[in-house]
Amino acid sequence: MLKTFRLGGVHPHDYKISRDAAIRMFDIPATVTIPLGQHIGAPATAAVKKGDRVLVGDVIGTATGFVSANIHSSVSGTVTSVDAVPDGANLRKPAVTIAVEGDEWNPAIDRSETLVRECTLEPKEIIAKIAAAGIVGLGGATFPTQVKLSVPPGKKAEMLIINGVECEPYLTADYRLMMERGEELLVGCEILMRALGVEKCYIGIENNKPEAIGHLRQLIAADTAFASRIEVVPLKMRYPQGGEKQLIAAIAKREVPSGALPIDVGAVVQNVGTTFAVYQAVQKNRPIVDRVVTVTGKKLANPSNLLVRIGTPISSLIEACGGMPEDTGKVINGGPMMGRAMANIDAPVTKGTSGVLLMDERSSLRASEMPCISCAKCVDACPMGLEPYLISKLSRLRLYDRLERERTADCIECGCCSFTCPSHLPLLDYIRLGKAETMKLIRARQAK
């Protein structure tokens, strides 16, 4: 019996049409726009001004406070502006625009392909290097990695869990990394284990990716240092297994209590892409200047996995993969279950851009709502054991004071409820609203 999480979940078709497309280096654009807020927390503070010359890997924004991250230049060239620029939702956000000149790298960065296996740094030094490299959760949540690795006093990490689940349909960026950068990934696991002081690492991969499971197992078996401490755990395919709490539940059979953090059950979860970035940062002094982006869609000519410099306009990726199909209705930043439909496709690729998905017009439109028939499918599908129909209804009626008791703050916004609703009710839309109001109430009470 394959492992999986206990409650809820749905089974969307996985549409991994770009799975066999090897990672391809994408051309450096003529200009890049690098937002200063690419992570959860405070945006970075600009460290450059108009006219400054920068190299690839130079810091252009420094972290503002504890929960924040450094931002690096992804190209070499001249800063043409430090100003508010429209993002994917057409909201103006601070960003650094750089006109590209050549491809000159910061000399501290080791650009060779040789595998650097040994790491003798102290945990503190590793975490400092990760913070300096601006690493954030690359699965899409973009939470600063150094914060997750800084275990608060009184708590102890027991295991590291690497998230290779990629449960979002269509996306294959993590899958390609596991297939093509397996060795680096495993060294990344060792570095993270060292930083956390744990002796056990589990890599969770769903059984729709048997090649990745086999490949990593082979690499682990070939090296005694890996074999004793790193284990690949095949998981039964089920969305949202890549959710942090669901993954811990699936692998360790421990459920993070409401209001607690993964570290409270002794687990730290890192995504595959993040782990690879950690390897690059610690062993190669290489900050995040690029990332793998899956560009896909049923009608796209060449679904691809591209290694893209941060700040490249998303529209240029679509052009490079065969151009926008005629009847495109939505362009989604991320996967189809949790990604954001973009209003502005000229917005730049950021650290959190795991995929660009094009959906045709027909599947972009929602079906019309029908009355709730209390079928309980949303209750059965909720991986957090909530009652989506009730939370949605209370939010709709603006009965915000009743929401906290219904555990609204536990919602992970995975979308299983809306996905499964036979009446096509926009359950999650209203739950998000209610969750925001609940968080406001909780914060107001804590501030007192």
Partner 1 sequence: MSNRIVAPSPHLHGDFSTPRIMRDVVIALIPAFAFSVFIYGLNAVFVTGIAILSCMLFEWLIDRFMLRRPCTLGDWSAVVTGTLLAFNLPATISPWLIILGSLVAIGIGKMSFGGLGRNLFNPALVGRVFLLISFPVQMTLFPDTAGVDAITGATPLAFVKGALKTGTPVAEIMPNIDLGGLFLGFKDGSLGEIGALALLIGGIYLLIRRVITWRIPVFVLGTMFVFASILWLANPELYINPLFHVFAGGAMLGAIFMATDYVTSPMSKKGQAIYAIGIGVITILIRVWGAYPEGMSFAILIMNATVPLINMYVKPSRFGGNSPKKK
Footprint of partner 1 on residues 228-257 (CB under 8 A)? 245, 249, 255-257
Main-chain dihedrals φ then ψ at residue 196, nearest 5 degrees:
-90, -15
CA–CA distance, 7 with 420 (Å, rounded to integer): 15
CB 49 within 8 A of CB 80: no
Q: Which residues does 272 contact at the CB level (< 8 Å), separation at least 6?
A: 139, 162, 163, 164, 166, 174, 177, 178, 185, 203
Q: Decide whether 179 or 267 has the Cβ nearer to partner 1.
A: 267
CB of 110 to partner 1, least distance (A): 39
Sole binder of partner 1 in the list 102, 214, 323, 422 (CB under 8 A): 422
Q: Decide whether 197 or 257 has the Cβ nearer to partner 1.
A: 257
Helix axes 182-196, 173-180, angle to 10 degrees: 100
Contact flag: residue 328 with partner 1 (CB under 8 A): yes
Sole binder of partner 1 in the list 46, 324, 439, 441 (CB under 8 A): 324
Contact flag: residue 17 with partner 1 (CB under 8 A): no
Residues 294-313 that bind partner 1 (CB under 8 A): none
Contact flag: residue 370 with partner 1 (CB under 8 A): yes
* Structure letter (DSSP) for residue 257: P
Q: Which amino acid is at 23?
A: I
CA–CA distance, 294 with 238 (Å, rounded to integer): 21
Contact flag: residue 321 with partner 1 (CB under 8 A): no
CA–CA distance, 348 with 359 (Å, rounded to integer): 19
CB of 412 to partner 1, least distance (A): 9
Sole binder of partner 1 in the list 338, 347, 349, 394 (CB under 8 A): 338
Contact flag: residue 380 with partner 1 (CB under 8 A): yes
Sole binder of partner 1 in the list 117, 366, 398, 440 (CB under 8 A): 366
Q: Decide whether 266 or 426 has the Cβ nearer to partner 1.
A: 426
Residues 83-122 that bind partner 1 (CB under 8 A): 89
Q: Decide whether 53 or 340 has the Cβ nearer to partner 1.
A: 340
Kindly state the number of chain residues that form the binding site for partner 1, as judged by CB under 8 A.
72
Which among 24-32, 121-129, 296-304, 353-361 is the span making contact with partner 1, rule CB under 8 A?
Answer: 353-361
Contact flag: residue 346 with partner 1 (CB under 8 A): no
Q: Which residues does 315 contact at the CB level (< 8 Å), separation at least 6?
A: 345, 346
Which among 96-104, 191-199, 302-310, 358-366 is the span making contact with partner 1, rule CB under 8 A?
Answer: 358-366
Contact flag: residue 141 with partner 1 (CB under 8 A): no
Q: Decide whether 332 or 349 has the Cβ nearer to partner 1.
A: 332
Half-sphere exposure for 243 (CA within 13 Å, toward CB): 29
Sole binder of partner 1 in the list 120, 371, 443, 444 (CB under 8 A): 371
CB of 80 to partner 1, least distance (A): 27
| Element containing residue 160 per DSSP (H, E) | strand 159-163
Burial class (CB in 10 A: 0-12, 13-18, 19+), 78: middle
Beta bridge partners of 92: 86
Alpha-carbon distance values, 18 to 78, 170, 175, 239, 299 (Å): 35, 7, 10, 19, 12
Residues 381-410 that bind partner 1 (CB under 8 A): 382-387, 389-390, 407, 410
Helix axes 272-284, 123-132, angle to 10 degrees: 100
